[in-house]
Structure 1
Amino acid sequence: LLSRAVGMAFIQTPLDFAYALNGIAYWLVIVVVVGTLASIAPALSAANLSVRASLSYE
């Protein structure tokens, strides 16, 4: 709806969505890598705690 309005306003042609499969694959790889890297530090610090320390942490 918005793409049609923008296309008609600027180039007098409705804009169509076109998703590139390689763009989706790149996005998926980047998200997985960033999520993995962001979880390494908390996981390592949690792994180094003893059970007693982790239960008394709250």
Structure 2
Amino acid sequence: MKAEYVGPNTVHTGFHIEVSRGTPVEEADRIAEEVRESVSRMMGCRYCVIHVDPAAQ
């Protein structure tokens, strides 16, 4: 996870998550959006990027 303080009450975050190989793109996008919303809510982030990668075998 990378977090950067960019000003008063403003934090930007970004990190990678892994999903099972074979997970449909639509499902991976849904998971990423849920994670993004949760992180944004918990940390009060204005900008949060989630990168989705396939899990290692």
TM over 0.5: no
* Larger fraction in helix: 1
**Relative contact order, CA 8 A, sep 6+: which one is greater?**
2
Structure 1 length as normaliser, TM-score? 0.37
Higher strand proportion (structure 1 or 2): 2
Higher Cα Rg, which structure: 1
**Could you state the TM-score of these two structures normalised by the residue count of structure 2?**
0.38
